[in-house]
């Protein structure tokens, strides 16, 4: 029966490399050549069966792709280039080696699109459910990273695409906005803050506001609504509610002093008073409460 070493052997044979990788996975540690003028950005993200995917519904390859794409989306949120990733998989006992290979191929497929090599990892089996943890290394490559906390009063608030209803399927199939983020950050738009929309516009906007010590208003009629959000109105919640709160859109939310950032959609503005508000069609204001995804313990 094939075991861990057969899987490791197979993974080594699949590895793609990049200019940064001096020694690929297979030794005790991999070795990367890091350009001396590059900032190193690091992060880690975990996906869990029953929380971020459903292993009885989603194929292993799609699960692997999503796990990697969430990390790549964090690179987009900082406007950095994905460089390398480390993958840790907790595999339920009874899943065979072919299942583990499919997970790996999904991770690799997503990474290869961005020249992001998998340079290490670990696979263990246990009595629990499937869990994947990926650590990502990103590099600035000539573009200053865009953190969450730099928004200024009077900045305009933008999103990069339509929102809501991702549960219909997009939460598994989204494309990380790395190229667009880099285009935005190196343009003349002087981005002051940015985040990727994983937890929902209402919750992620709070992250920008809290980090910047400011508030924001959002124009209800300007929020771009995805057709999936319209489809999901059958659950009794309006499409706008889905767009504001669903999450896992993986579009970018950012701020700029420029009123005309052409690749994005203007939805509101940053203000000095704390709190987040929705401005309705009749110009009345209602509090925009964060109702997006939050892990509870
Ligand atoms: Mg993020």
Give per-residue pLDDT as tens, 86-138: 999 999 999 999 999 999 999 999 999 999 999 998 899 999 999 999 999 99
Confidence of residue 287 (pLDDT cuts 50, 70, 90): very high
DSSP 213: T
* CA 196 to centroid of ligand 1, rounded, Å: 5
* CA 145 to centroid of ligand 1, rounded, Å: 13
* CA 71 to centroid of ligand 1, rounded, Å: 8
* CA 207 to centroid of ligand 1, rounded, Å: 10
Confidence of residue 158 (pLDDT cuts 50, 70, 90): very high
Confidence of residue 5 (pLDDT cuts 50, 70, 90): confident
* CA 195 to centroid of ligand 1, rounded, Å: 6
* pLDDT score at 240: 96
Q: What is the mean pLDDT of residues 242-260?
A: 97
* pLDDT score at 1: 58
* pLDDT score at 64: 98
Query: How far is the CA of 286 from the CAs of 204, 213, 220, 278, 283, in angstroms?
Result: 18, 20, 10, 5, 10
pLDDT at 296 over 70: no
Question: Among the listed ranges 54-63, 115-124, 150-159, 224-233, which one has the minimum average pLDDT value?
Answer: 115-124
- How many whole angstroms separate alpha carbon 209 and alpha carbon 222? 19
Q: What is the pTM of this model?
A: 0.94
Q: What is the mean pLDDT of residues 268-272?
A: 98
Confidence of residue 260 (pLDDT cuts 50, 70, 90): very high
* CA 201 to centroid of ligand 1, rounded, Å: 12
* CA 78 to centroid of ligand 1, rounded, Å: 9
* CA 43 to centroid of ligand 1, rounded, Å: 9
Q: CA torsion sign, 283 to 230 to 197 to 188? A: negative
pLDDT at 212 over 60: yes
* CA 225 to centroid of ligand 1, rounded, Å: 21
Conformation bin of residue 236: beta by default, left when phi > 0, alpha when psi is -120 to 50: left
* CA 123 to centroid of ligand 1, rounded, Å: 25
Confidence of residue 10 (pLDDT cuts 50, 70, 90): confident
* pLDDT score at 297: 57
* CA 216 to centroid of ligand 1, rounded, Å: 19
* CA 244 to centroid of ligand 1, rounded, Å: 17
Confidence of residue 143 (pLDDT cuts 50, 70, 90): very high
Confidence of residue 153 (pLDDT cuts 50, 70, 90): very high
> Under 8 Å CB-to-CB from 242, ≥6 apart: which residues?
163, 164, 165, 225, 228, 229, 232, 233
* CA 94 to centroid of ligand 1, rounded, Å: 33
* pLDDT score at 134: 98
């Amino acid at each position: 029966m094939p075991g861990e070493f057969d899987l490791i052997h197979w993974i080594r044979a699949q590895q793609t490399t990049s200019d940064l990788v001096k020694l690929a996975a297979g030794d005790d540690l991999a070795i990367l050549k890091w350009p001396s003028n590059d900032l190193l950005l690091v992060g880690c993200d975990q996906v869990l069966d029953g929380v971020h995917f459903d292993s009885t519904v989603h194929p292993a390859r799609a699960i692997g792709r999503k796990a990697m794409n969430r990390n790549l989306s964090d690179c987009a949120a900082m406007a950095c280039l994905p460089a390398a990733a480390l993958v840790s998989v907790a595999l339920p006992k009874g899943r065979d080696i072919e299942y583990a290979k499919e997970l790996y191929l999904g991770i690799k497929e997503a990474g290869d699109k961005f020249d992001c090599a998998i340079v290490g990892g670990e696979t263990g089996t246990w009595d629990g459910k499937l869990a994947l943890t990926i650590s990502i290394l990103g590099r600035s490559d000539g573009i200053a990273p865009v953190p969450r906390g730099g928004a200024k009063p009077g900045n305009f608030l933008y999103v990069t695409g339509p929102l809501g209803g991702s549960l219909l399927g997009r939460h598994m199939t989204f494309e990380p906005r790395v190229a667009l983020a880099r285009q935005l950050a190196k343009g003349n738009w002087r981005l002051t803050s940015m985040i990727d929309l994983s937890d929902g516009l209402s919750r992620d906007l709070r992250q920008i506001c809290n980090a910047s010590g400011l508030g924001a208003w959002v124009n209800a009629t300007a929020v771009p609504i995805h057709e999936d959000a319209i489809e999901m109105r059958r659950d009794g919640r309006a499409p706008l509610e889905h767009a504001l709160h669903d999450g896992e859109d993986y579009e970018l939310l950012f701020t700029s002093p420029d009123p005309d950032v052409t690749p994005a959609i203007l939805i509101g503005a940053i203000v000095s008073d704390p709190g987040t508000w929705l401005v309705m069609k009749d110009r009345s204001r209602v509090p925009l409460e964060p109702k997006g995804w939050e892990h509870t313990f």
